[in-house]
A and B are shown apart, each in its own frame.
Chain A
Amino acid sequence: MDLSIIFDNIGIYLEGLKTTAWLVSLSLLLGLLLAVPLAVLRTAQAYAIQAPIRAYVYFFRGTPLLVQMFIVYYGFGQFDVIKTSFVWPLFKEAWFCALFTFTLNTGAYTTEILRGAIEATPHGEIEAAKAAGMSRLLMLRRIVLPSAFRRALPQYSNEIIFMLHGSSLASVITLVDITGAARIINSRFYSPYEAFLTAAVFYMALTFMIVFLVKRLEGRWFAHLRPQETSRG
Protein backbone atom coordinates (compact mmCIF):
# COMPACT_ATOMS: atom_id res chain seq x y z
CA MET A 1 0.00 0.00 0.00
CA ASP A 2 1.40 3.35 -1.04
CA LEU A 3 -0.86 6.01 0.38
CA SER A 4 1.29 8.87 -0.91
CA ILE A 5 -0.42 8.33 -4.30
CA ILE A 6 -3.69 9.23 -2.64
CA PHE A 7 -2.38 12.21 -0.68
CA ASP A 8 -0.70 13.65 -3.77
CA ASN A 9 -3.90 13.33 -5.78
CA ILE A 10 -6.50 14.06 -3.14
CA GLY A 11 -7.66 16.97 -5.28
CA ILE A 12 -9.13 14.57 -7.87
CA TYR A 13 -11.11 12.80 -5.15
CA LEU A 14 -12.39 16.08 -3.74
CA GLU A 15 -13.55 17.12 -7.22
CA GLY A 16 -15.21 13.70 -7.47
CA LEU A 17 -16.85 14.20 -4.10
CA LYS A 18 -18.27 17.48 -5.33
CA THR A 19 -19.71 15.82 -8.45
CA THR A 20 -21.21 12.94 -6.46
CA ALA A 21 -22.69 15.36 -3.93
CA TRP A 22 -24.49 17.64 -6.37
CA LEU A 23 -25.54 14.82 -8.67
CA VAL A 24 -27.11 12.81 -5.85
CA SER A 25 -28.71 15.70 -4.00
CA LEU A 26 -30.15 17.30 -7.13
CA SER A 27 -31.59 14.05 -8.47
CA LEU A 28 -33.05 13.19 -5.08
CA LEU A 29 -34.66 16.63 -4.84
CA LEU A 30 -36.09 16.54 -8.38
CA GLY A 31 -37.12 12.90 -7.95
CA LEU A 32 -39.00 13.76 -4.79
CA LEU A 33 -40.74 16.71 -6.46
CA LEU A 34 -41.79 14.33 -9.24
CA ALA A 35 -42.84 11.56 -6.87
CA VAL A 36 -45.19 13.51 -4.61
CA PRO A 37 -47.81 14.35 -7.28
CA LEU A 38 -47.37 10.95 -8.94
CA ALA A 39 -47.90 9.10 -5.66
CA VAL A 40 -51.04 11.14 -4.98
CA LEU A 41 -52.38 10.47 -8.48
CA ARG A 42 -51.44 6.80 -8.18
CA THR A 43 -53.88 6.44 -5.30
CA ALA A 44 -56.64 7.91 -7.48
CA GLN A 45 -59.60 5.74 -8.37
CA ALA A 46 -59.57 6.27 -12.13
CA TYR A 47 -57.66 3.57 -13.97
CA ALA A 48 -56.75 5.96 -16.81
CA ILE A 49 -54.76 8.05 -14.31
CA GLN A 50 -53.25 5.07 -12.50
CA ALA A 51 -52.14 3.07 -15.51
CA PRO A 52 -49.42 5.35 -16.96
CA ILE A 53 -47.92 5.89 -13.49
CA ARG A 54 -47.95 2.15 -12.87
CA ALA A 55 -46.16 1.56 -16.18
CA TYR A 56 -43.54 4.20 -15.38
CA VAL A 57 -42.83 2.74 -11.94
CA TYR A 58 -42.81 -0.82 -13.29
CA PHE A 59 -40.27 0.02 -15.99
CA PHE A 60 -37.87 1.97 -13.80
CA ARG A 61 -37.99 -0.45 -10.88
CA GLY A 62 -37.74 -3.53 -13.10
CA THR A 63 -34.70 -2.62 -15.20
CA PRO A 64 -31.08 -1.91 -14.19
CA LEU A 65 -30.07 1.72 -13.69
CA LEU A 66 -27.10 1.08 -15.98
CA VAL A 67 -29.36 0.10 -18.89
CA GLN A 68 -31.62 3.10 -18.27
CA MET A 69 -28.58 5.36 -18.36
CA PHE A 70 -27.36 3.79 -21.62
CA ILE A 71 -30.79 4.24 -23.19
CA VAL A 72 -30.67 7.95 -22.40
CA TYR A 73 -26.99 8.64 -23.03
CA TYR A 74 -26.39 6.48 -26.11
CA GLY A 75 -29.96 5.73 -27.20
CA PHE A 76 -31.56 9.15 -27.54
CA GLY A 77 -29.07 10.15 -30.23
CA GLN A 78 -30.61 7.52 -32.49
CA PHE A 79 -33.58 9.77 -33.23
CA ASP A 80 -33.31 12.77 -35.51
CA VAL A 81 -36.32 14.28 -33.80
CA ILE A 82 -34.29 14.61 -30.62
CA LYS A 83 -31.06 15.46 -32.35
CA THR A 84 -32.54 18.43 -34.18
CA SER A 85 -34.64 19.66 -31.27
CA PHE A 86 -33.74 22.29 -28.69
CA VAL A 87 -33.13 19.65 -25.96
CA TRP A 88 -30.20 18.06 -27.78
CA PRO A 89 -27.54 20.43 -26.35
CA LEU A 90 -28.57 19.05 -22.95
CA PHE A 91 -28.90 15.38 -23.89
CA LYS A 92 -25.49 15.21 -25.52
CA GLU A 93 -23.92 16.14 -22.17
CA ALA A 94 -23.07 13.19 -19.92
CA TRP A 95 -23.88 15.09 -16.72
CA PHE A 96 -27.37 15.91 -17.94
CA CYS A 97 -28.06 12.32 -19.01
CA ALA A 98 -26.93 11.06 -15.60
CA LEU A 99 -29.05 13.63 -13.78
CA PHE A 100 -32.06 12.88 -16.01
CA THR A 101 -31.82 9.09 -15.53
CA PHE A 102 -31.15 9.25 -11.79
CA THR A 103 -34.08 11.63 -11.30
CA LEU A 104 -36.52 9.39 -13.15
CA ASN A 105 -35.14 6.31 -11.38
CA THR A 106 -35.36 7.66 -7.85
CA GLY A 107 -38.69 9.26 -8.76
CA ALA A 108 -40.12 5.82 -9.54
CA TYR A 109 -38.89 4.23 -6.32
CA THR A 110 -40.02 7.22 -4.26
CA THR A 111 -43.47 7.16 -5.88
CA GLU A 112 -43.86 3.58 -4.72
CA ILE A 113 -42.63 4.36 -1.19
CA LEU A 114 -44.97 7.34 -0.88
CA ARG A 115 -47.90 5.43 -2.33
CA GLY A 116 -47.53 2.81 0.39
CA ALA A 117 -47.32 5.52 3.03
CA ILE A 118 -50.37 7.37 1.69
CA GLU A 119 -52.44 4.20 1.50
CA ALA A 120 -51.56 3.42 5.11
CA THR A 121 -53.23 6.62 6.34
CA PRO A 122 -55.70 5.63 9.07
CA HIS A 123 -59.21 5.91 7.70
CA GLY A 124 -60.42 7.79 10.76
CA GLU A 125 -58.06 10.69 10.06
CA ILE A 126 -59.53 11.15 6.59
CA GLU A 127 -63.07 10.93 7.89
CA ALA A 128 -62.25 13.49 10.56
CA ALA A 129 -60.74 15.83 7.98
CA LYS A 130 -63.84 15.50 5.81
CA ALA A 131 -66.08 16.03 8.80
CA ALA A 132 -64.15 19.21 9.57
CA GLY A 133 -65.11 20.39 6.09
CA MET A 134 -61.66 20.31 4.49
CA SER A 135 -61.41 20.27 0.70
CA ARG A 136 -59.43 17.47 -0.95
CA LEU A 137 -56.34 19.64 -1.40
CA LEU A 138 -56.43 21.04 2.08
CA MET A 139 -56.82 17.54 3.52
CA LEU A 140 -53.87 16.37 1.44
CA ARG A 141 -51.70 19.24 2.61
CA ARG A 142 -52.64 19.19 6.28
CA ILE A 143 -53.46 15.57 7.06
CA VAL A 144 -52.43 12.98 4.47
CA LEU A 145 -49.01 14.14 3.29
CA PRO A 146 -47.47 15.13 6.64
CA SER A 147 -48.25 11.76 8.19
CA ALA A 148 -47.31 9.92 4.97
CA PHE A 149 -43.90 11.60 4.91
CA ARG A 150 -43.37 10.54 8.48
CA ARG A 151 -44.23 6.92 7.71
CA ALA A 152 -42.12 6.96 4.55
CA LEU A 153 -38.95 8.33 6.15
CA PRO A 154 -37.32 5.03 7.23
CA GLN A 155 -37.75 3.55 3.74
CA TYR A 156 -36.79 6.78 2.05
CA SER A 157 -33.49 6.83 3.92
CA ASN A 158 -32.71 3.49 2.26
CA GLU A 159 -33.57 5.05 -1.09
CA ILE A 160 -31.14 7.91 -0.41
CA ILE A 161 -28.36 5.41 0.24
CA PHE A 162 -29.26 3.38 -2.87
CA MET A 163 -29.11 6.56 -4.93
CA LEU A 164 -25.71 7.45 -3.47
CA HIS A 165 -24.44 4.00 -4.41
CA GLY A 166 -26.17 4.05 -7.78
CA SER A 167 -24.53 7.38 -8.61
CA SER A 168 -21.21 5.53 -8.93
CA LEU A 169 -22.51 4.41 -12.35
CA ALA A 170 -22.05 7.98 -13.58
CA SER A 171 -18.36 7.11 -13.86
CA VAL A 172 -19.25 4.69 -16.68
CA ILE A 173 -20.39 7.55 -18.92
CA THR A 174 -17.19 9.56 -18.38
CA LEU A 175 -18.25 11.66 -15.38
CA VAL A 176 -15.57 12.09 -12.73
CA ASP A 177 -17.43 11.37 -9.51
CA ILE A 178 -15.77 9.58 -6.55
CA THR A 179 -15.66 6.30 -8.49
CA GLY A 180 -14.49 8.15 -11.59
CA ALA A 181 -11.64 9.65 -9.57
CA ALA A 182 -10.67 6.19 -8.36
CA ARG A 183 -10.68 4.86 -11.93
CA ILE A 184 -8.39 7.69 -13.03
CA ILE A 185 -5.96 6.98 -10.18
CA ASN A 186 -6.07 3.25 -10.89
CA SER A 187 -5.31 3.62 -14.57
CA ARG A 188 -2.62 6.26 -13.96
CA PHE A 189 -0.69 4.44 -11.23
CA TYR A 190 -2.00 0.87 -11.59
CA SER A 191 -2.77 0.79 -7.89
CA PRO A 192 -6.25 -0.68 -7.54
CA TYR A 193 -6.21 -1.09 -3.75
CA GLU A 194 -5.26 2.46 -2.95
CA ALA A 195 -7.59 3.88 -5.60
CA PHE A 196 -10.76 1.90 -4.89
CA LEU A 197 -10.35 1.54 -1.14
CA THR A 198 -10.09 5.33 -0.88
CA ALA A 199 -13.31 5.62 -2.89
CA ALA A 200 -14.89 3.03 -0.59
CA VAL A 201 -13.91 5.09 2.47
CA PHE A 202 -15.48 8.20 0.93
CA TYR A 203 -18.74 6.34 0.24
CA MET A 204 -18.82 4.79 3.69
CA ALA A 205 -18.32 8.17 5.31
CA LEU A 206 -21.16 9.62 3.22
CA THR A 207 -23.40 6.64 4.02
CA PHE A 208 -22.85 6.99 7.76
CA MET A 209 -23.42 10.71 7.53
CA ILE A 210 -26.78 10.15 5.81
CA VAL A 211 -27.79 7.53 8.37
CA PHE A 212 -26.88 9.95 11.17
CA LEU A 213 -28.81 12.86 9.63
CA VAL A 214 -31.90 10.71 9.02
CA LYS A 215 -31.77 9.49 12.63
CA ARG A 216 -31.80 13.10 13.81
CA LEU A 217 -34.65 13.97 11.47
CA GLU A 218 -36.56 10.93 12.74
CA GLY A 219 -35.98 12.17 16.27
CA ARG A 220 -37.64 15.45 15.34
CA TRP A 221 -40.50 14.09 13.26
CA PHE A 222 -41.35 11.36 15.74
CA ALA A 223 -40.86 13.54 18.82
CA HIS A 224 -44.56 13.39 19.64
CA LEU A 225 -44.44 9.58 19.68
CA ARG A 226 -41.67 9.34 22.27
CA PRO A 227 -42.74 8.01 25.62
CA GLN A 228 -43.28 11.06 27.77
CA GLU A 229 -41.39 11.61 30.95
CA THR A 230 -43.75 11.72 33.83
CA SER A 231 -42.93 13.62 36.94
CA ARG A 232 -42.91 11.43 39.97
CA GLY A 233 -44.80 13.09 42.71
Chain B
Amino acid sequence: MINLHGYGPSILEGTLLTIAVSLAALALAMLLGIAGALGKLSGSLSMRIAAQTYTTIIRGIPDLVLMLLVFFGGQVLINQLAPLVGYEDYIDINPFIAGVSTIGFIFGAYMTETFRGAILAVPRGQIEAAYAYGMRRGQMFRRILMPQMIRHAIPGFGNNWLVLVKTTALVSIIGLDDMVRKASLAAGATRLPFTFYLVVAFNYLIITSISVYLLRWLETRYSAGVIKA
Protein backbone atom coordinates (compact mmCIF):
# COMPACT_ATOMS: atom_id res chain seq x y z
CA MET B 1 0.00 0.00 0.00
CA ILE B 2 1.20 3.53 -0.69
CA ASN B 3 2.36 5.52 2.32
CA LEU B 4 0.38 8.78 2.42
CA HIS B 5 2.24 10.13 5.48
CA GLY B 6 -1.01 10.80 7.35
CA TYR B 7 -2.54 12.81 4.53
CA GLY B 8 -5.05 10.07 3.67
CA PRO B 9 -7.98 11.61 5.58
CA SER B 10 -7.24 15.02 4.07
CA ILE B 11 -7.33 13.59 0.54
CA LEU B 12 -10.54 11.77 1.38
CA GLU B 13 -12.08 15.04 2.57
CA GLY B 14 -11.09 16.60 -0.73
CA THR B 15 -12.61 13.68 -2.60
CA LEU B 16 -15.92 14.25 -0.84
CA LEU B 17 -15.78 17.93 -1.79
CA THR B 18 -15.05 17.00 -5.41
CA ILE B 19 -18.14 14.79 -5.37
CA ALA B 20 -20.21 17.55 -3.73
CA VAL B 21 -19.12 20.13 -6.34
CA SER B 22 -19.85 17.64 -9.14
CA LEU B 23 -23.34 16.80 -7.91
CA ALA B 24 -24.29 20.43 -7.23
CA ALA B 25 -23.02 21.49 -10.66
CA LEU B 26 -24.88 18.56 -12.24
CA ALA B 27 -28.16 19.67 -10.66
CA LEU B 28 -27.69 23.20 -12.02
CA ALA B 29 -26.61 21.89 -15.42
CA MET B 30 -29.73 19.71 -15.70
CA LEU B 31 -32.03 22.62 -14.88
CA LEU B 32 -30.28 24.84 -17.43
CA GLY B 33 -30.21 21.96 -19.90
CA ILE B 34 -33.97 21.37 -19.72
CA ALA B 35 -34.62 25.11 -19.98
CA GLY B 36 -32.18 25.41 -22.88
CA ALA B 37 -33.65 22.43 -24.74
CA LEU B 38 -37.19 23.73 -24.34
CA GLY B 39 -35.90 27.14 -25.48
CA LYS B 40 -34.28 25.70 -28.59
CA LEU B 41 -37.45 23.82 -29.50
CA SER B 42 -39.81 26.63 -28.54
CA GLY B 43 -42.03 28.44 -31.03
CA SER B 44 -40.77 31.87 -30.04
CA LEU B 45 -37.88 33.20 -32.08
CA SER B 46 -36.32 35.21 -29.25
CA MET B 47 -36.22 32.10 -27.02
CA ARG B 48 -34.54 30.13 -29.79
CA ILE B 49 -31.97 32.87 -30.36
CA ALA B 50 -31.25 33.15 -26.63
CA ALA B 51 -30.72 29.39 -26.28
CA GLN B 52 -28.58 29.25 -29.42
CA THR B 53 -26.39 32.15 -28.24
CA TYR B 54 -25.94 30.47 -24.87
CA THR B 55 -24.70 27.16 -26.30
CA THR B 56 -22.52 28.81 -28.97
CA ILE B 57 -20.76 31.09 -26.51
CA ILE B 58 -20.12 28.34 -23.98
CA ARG B 59 -18.68 25.99 -26.56
CA GLY B 60 -16.34 28.68 -27.86
CA ILE B 61 -14.66 29.57 -24.56
CA PRO B 62 -12.38 27.39 -22.39
CA ASP B 63 -13.76 26.33 -18.98
CA LEU B 64 -10.83 27.87 -17.15
CA VAL B 65 -11.32 31.30 -18.73
CA LEU B 66 -15.03 31.24 -17.84
CA MET B 67 -14.24 30.19 -14.30
CA LEU B 68 -11.68 32.94 -13.81
CA LEU B 69 -14.14 35.41 -15.33
CA VAL B 70 -16.89 34.37 -12.91
CA PHE B 71 -14.56 34.22 -9.92
CA PHE B 72 -12.68 37.50 -10.41
CA GLY B 73 -15.35 39.30 -12.42
CA GLY B 74 -18.15 38.23 -10.09
CA GLN B 75 -16.15 39.58 -7.19
CA VAL B 76 -15.88 43.03 -8.81
CA LEU B 77 -19.50 43.00 -9.93
CA ILE B 78 -20.87 42.12 -6.49
CA ASN B 79 -18.77 44.77 -4.81
CA GLN B 80 -19.99 47.34 -7.33
CA LEU B 81 -23.62 46.34 -6.90
CA ALA B 82 -23.67 45.89 -3.12
CA PRO B 83 -23.33 49.61 -2.22
CA LEU B 84 -26.34 50.32 -4.47
CA VAL B 85 -28.55 48.28 -2.16
CA GLY B 86 -26.96 49.85 0.90
CA TYR B 87 -24.38 47.18 1.76
CA GLU B 88 -21.03 48.75 2.57
CA ASP B 89 -18.70 45.90 3.61
CA TYR B 90 -16.34 44.19 1.17
CA ILE B 91 -17.78 40.89 -0.02
CA ASP B 92 -15.57 37.92 -0.80
CA ILE B 93 -17.02 35.63 -3.42
CA ASN B 94 -17.29 32.07 -2.21
CA PRO B 95 -15.15 29.78 -4.40
CA PHE B 96 -17.65 26.93 -3.93
CA ILE B 97 -20.43 29.03 -5.39
CA ALA B 98 -18.19 30.40 -8.15
CA GLY B 99 -17.01 26.91 -9.05
CA VAL B 100 -20.42 25.24 -8.96
CA SER B 101 -22.14 28.00 -10.90
CA THR B 102 -19.46 28.16 -13.60
CA ILE B 103 -19.35 24.40 -14.10
CA GLY B 104 -23.14 24.17 -13.95
CA PHE B 105 -23.42 26.98 -16.49
CA ILE B 106 -20.92 25.33 -18.86
CA PHE B 107 -22.46 21.88 -18.71
CA GLY B 108 -25.95 23.36 -18.99
CA ALA B 109 -24.98 24.12 -22.58
CA TYR B 110 -23.88 20.53 -23.24
CA MET B 111 -26.99 19.18 -21.50
CA THR B 112 -29.10 21.44 -23.72
CA GLU B 113 -27.83 19.59 -26.78
CA THR B 114 -28.34 16.20 -25.14
CA PHE B 115 -31.89 16.93 -24.01
CA ARG B 116 -32.81 18.56 -27.30
CA GLY B 117 -31.76 15.43 -29.15
CA ALA B 118 -33.62 13.23 -26.67
CA ILE B 119 -36.85 15.21 -26.98
CA LEU B 120 -36.63 15.06 -30.76
CA ALA B 121 -36.11 11.29 -30.56
CA VAL B 122 -39.57 10.76 -29.06
CA PRO B 123 -41.96 10.05 -31.95
CA ARG B 124 -44.12 13.04 -32.74
CA GLY B 125 -47.23 10.85 -32.85
CA GLN B 126 -46.86 10.00 -29.15
CA ILE B 127 -47.13 13.66 -28.24
CA GLU B 128 -50.05 14.23 -30.59
CA ALA B 129 -51.79 11.18 -29.13
CA ALA B 130 -51.32 12.55 -25.62
CA TYR B 131 -52.95 15.82 -26.62
CA ALA B 132 -55.71 13.91 -28.41
CA TYR B 133 -56.46 12.18 -25.10
CA GLY B 134 -56.96 15.63 -23.64
CA MET B 135 -53.77 15.76 -21.54
CA ARG B 136 -52.49 19.16 -20.58
CA ARG B 137 -48.94 20.27 -21.46
CA GLY B 138 -47.59 19.40 -18.02
CA GLN B 139 -49.32 16.01 -17.99
CA MET B 140 -48.00 15.22 -21.46
CA PHE B 141 -44.46 16.14 -20.36
CA ARG B 142 -44.63 14.05 -17.19
CA ARG B 143 -46.44 11.00 -18.54
CA ILE B 144 -45.32 10.72 -22.15
CA LEU B 145 -42.29 12.84 -23.03
CA MET B 146 -40.21 12.50 -19.86
CA PRO B 147 -40.20 8.68 -19.45
CA GLN B 148 -39.31 8.18 -23.10
CA MET B 149 -36.75 10.93 -23.49
CA ILE B 150 -34.74 9.76 -20.47
CA ARG B 151 -33.80 6.61 -22.35
CA HIS B 152 -32.47 8.62 -25.27
CA ALA B 153 -30.76 11.13 -23.00
CA ILE B 154 -28.81 8.64 -20.85
CA PRO B 155 -25.80 8.03 -23.15
CA GLY B 156 -25.19 11.75 -23.75
CA PHE B 157 -25.98 12.55 -20.14
CA GLY B 158 -23.43 9.95 -19.02
CA ASN B 159 -20.70 11.42 -21.21
CA ASN B 160 -21.42 14.92 -19.94
CA TRP B 161 -21.27 13.71 -16.34
CA LEU B 162 -17.89 12.02 -16.85
CA VAL B 163 -16.44 15.17 -18.42
CA LEU B 164 -18.02 17.30 -15.68
CA VAL B 165 -16.36 15.30 -12.90
CA LYS B 166 -12.97 15.84 -14.52
CA THR B 167 -13.67 19.54 -15.05
CA THR B 168 -14.17 20.00 -11.30
CA ALA B 169 -10.38 19.69 -10.96
CA LEU B 170 -10.30 23.34 -12.09
CA VAL B 171 -11.90 24.55 -8.86
CA SER B 172 -8.56 23.89 -7.16
CA ILE B 173 -7.19 26.85 -9.16
CA ILE B 174 -9.66 29.28 -7.58
CA GLY B 175 -8.74 28.01 -4.14
CA LEU B 176 -11.41 25.46 -3.35
CA ASP B 177 -10.15 22.55 -1.23
CA ASP B 178 -11.04 19.74 -3.61
CA MET B 179 -8.85 16.65 -3.84
CA VAL B 180 -6.44 18.21 -6.34
CA ARG B 181 -5.71 21.10 -3.99
CA LYS B 182 -5.47 18.78 -1.00
CA ALA B 183 -2.93 16.79 -3.01
CA SER B 184 -0.99 19.99 -3.79
CA LEU B 185 -0.84 20.83 -0.11
CA ALA B 186 0.24 17.32 0.84
CA ALA B 187 2.78 17.28 -1.99
CA GLY B 188 4.27 20.55 -0.80
CA ALA B 189 4.66 19.30 2.75
CA THR B 190 6.02 15.84 1.98
CA ARG B 191 7.88 16.54 -1.28
CA LEU B 192 6.09 13.59 -2.85
CA PRO B 193 4.09 15.26 -5.65
CA PHE B 194 4.06 12.21 -7.93
CA THR B 195 2.59 9.96 -5.24
CA PHE B 196 -0.20 12.33 -4.28
CA TYR B 197 -1.24 13.38 -7.77
CA LEU B 198 -1.25 9.75 -8.84
CA VAL B 199 -3.51 8.85 -5.91
CA VAL B 200 -5.85 11.65 -6.95
CA ALA B 201 -5.78 10.44 -10.56
CA PHE B 202 -6.83 6.97 -9.39
CA ASN B 203 -9.59 8.51 -7.27
CA TYR B 204 -10.98 10.08 -10.45
CA LEU B 205 -10.74 6.71 -12.20
CA ILE B 206 -12.67 5.10 -9.33
CA ILE B 207 -15.39 7.76 -9.45
CA THR B 208 -15.75 7.49 -13.22
CA SER B 209 -15.73 3.68 -13.16
CA ILE B 210 -18.51 3.58 -10.57
CA SER B 211 -20.43 6.15 -12.61
CA VAL B 212 -20.10 4.08 -15.78
CA TYR B 213 -21.43 1.06 -13.90
CA LEU B 214 -24.42 2.96 -12.50
CA LEU B 215 -25.17 4.56 -15.87
CA ARG B 216 -25.20 1.15 -17.53
CA TRP B 217 -27.69 -0.08 -14.94
CA LEU B 218 -29.84 3.01 -15.50
CA GLU B 219 -29.76 2.50 -19.24
CA THR B 220 -30.90 -1.11 -18.93
CA ARG B 221 -33.71 -0.04 -16.62
CA TYR B 222 -35.02 2.65 -18.91
CA SER B 223 -34.65 0.44 -21.97
CA ALA B 224 -36.96 -2.21 -20.50
CA GLY B 225 -39.54 -3.03 -23.13
CA VAL B 226 -37.39 -1.84 -26.02
CA ILE B 227 -36.71 -4.57 -28.54
CA LYS B 228 -33.16 -4.43 -29.81
CA ALA B 229 -32.63 -5.06 -33.48
Question: How close is A211's CB to chain B, nearest CB, in angstroms?
Answer: 9
Give every chain A residue within 8 A of B194 (Cβ-Cβ): 71, 74-76, 78-79
**A62 lies within 8 A of B172 (CB):** no
Q: Name the residue in B61, B65, B75 with the highest tally of chain A Cβ atoms < 10 Å from its Cβ.
A: B65
User: Contacts A78-B193, A196-B73: A182 and B200 contacting too (C-beta < 8 A)?
Assistant: no
Closest residue of B by beta carbon distance from A183? B68
Question: How close is A73's CB to chain B, nearest CB, in angstroms?
Answer: 9
- Map CB proximity to A onto B176-217 as digits: 1 under 8 Å, 0 otherwise: 000010011001000111110110110011001100000000
Within 8 A of B (CB), among A83-126: none
A193 to B69, CA, bound (A): 7
- Map CB proximity to A onto B56-77 as digits: 1 under 8 Å, 0 otherwise: 0101111111101100110110
Q: Is A147 an interface residue (CB 8 A)?
A: no
Q: Is B173 an interface residue (CB 8 A)?
A: yes
Pick from A68, A75, A196: contact of B65, CB under 8 Å: A196
Q: Name the residue in B57, B169, B198, B204 with the highest tally of chain A Cβ atoms < 10 Å from its Cβ.
A: B169
Question: How close is A207's CB to chain B, nearest CB, in angstroms?
Answer: 4
Pick from B57, B68, B200: contact of A179, CB under 8 Å: B68
Q: Is A19 an interface residue (CB 8 A)?
A: no
Pick from B75, B166, B184, B187: contact of A64, CB under 8 Å: B166
A64 to B187, CA, bound (A): 18
Q: Is B170 an interface residue (CB 8 A)?
A: yes
Closest residue of B by beta carbon distance from A20? B62
Closest residue of A by beta carbon distance from B166? A64
Within 8 A of B (CB), among A191-208: 192-193, 196-197, 199-200, 203-204, 207-208
Closest residue of A by beta carbon distance from B172? A66
Give every chain B residue within 8 A of A207 (Cβ-Cβ): 59-60
Q: Is the interface of A mostly helix, strand, loop or mixed?
A: helix
Q: Is B223 an interface residue (CB 8 A)?
A: no
Q: Is B167 an interface residue (CB 8 A)?
A: yes
A67 to B168, CA, bound (A): 11
Give every chain A residue within 8 A of B76 (Cβ-Cβ): 190, 192-193
**B68 lies within 8 A of A182 (CB):** yes
Pick from A75, A168, A172, A192: contact of B72, CB under 8 Å: A192
User: Contacts A63-B204, A64-B204: A192 and B193 contacting too (C-beta < 8 A)?
Assistant: no
Q: Is A221 an interface residue (CB 8 A)?
A: no
Q: Is A43 an interface residue (CB 8 A)?
A: no
**A71 lies within 8 A of B169 (CB):** no
A68 to B183, CA, bound (A): 13
Interface residues of A, count at CB 8 A: 41
Closest residue of A by beta carbon distance from B75? A192
Q: Name the residue in A67, A71, A161 with the highest tally of chain B Cβ atoms < 10 Å from its Cβ.
A: A67
**B180 lies within 8 A of A193 (CB):** no
Pick from A67, A76, A204: contact of B201, CB under 8 Å: A67
Q: Is A54 an interface residue (CB 8 A)?
A: no
Q: Name the residue in A70, A71, A79, A204 with the highest tally of chain B Cβ atoms < 10 Å from its Cβ.
A: A70
Closest residue of B by beta carbon distance from A190? B76
Closest residue of B by beta carbon distance from A165? B62
Give every chain A residue within 8 A of B200 (Cβ-Cβ): 67
User: Contacts A70-B184, A196-B69, A208-B60: A62 and B193 contacting too (C-beta < 8 A)?
Assistant: no
- Map CB proximity to B onto A154-183 as digits: 1 under 8 Å, 0 otherwise: 000000010011111101100000010011
Question: How close is B195's CB to chain A, nearest CB, in angstroms?
Answer: 7
A190 to B63, CA, bound (A): 21
Question: How close is B124's CB to chain A, nearest CB, in angstroms?
Answer: 27
Pick from B62, B69, B180, B204: contact of A70, CB under 8 Å: B180
Q: Is A50 an interface residue (CB 8 A)?
A: no
Q: Which residues of B contact A (CB under 8 A)?
A: 57, 59-66, 68-69, 72-73, 75-76, 162, 166-170, 172-173, 180, 183-184, 187, 191-195, 197-198, 200-201, 204-205, 208-209
Known: A63-B204, A193-B69. 11 other contacts (CB 8 A): A59-B201, A64-B169, A66-B180, A67-B201, A67-B204, A70-B180, A71-B198, A78-B193, A168-B62, A196-B73, A197-B69
**Can you list 12 A-B contacts with CB-CB less than 8 angstroms, sorted by A residue number?**
A63-B205, A65-B166, A66-B173, A68-B201, A70-B184, A70-B193, A71-B194, A75-B197, A77-B193, A183-B68, A190-B76, A200-B69
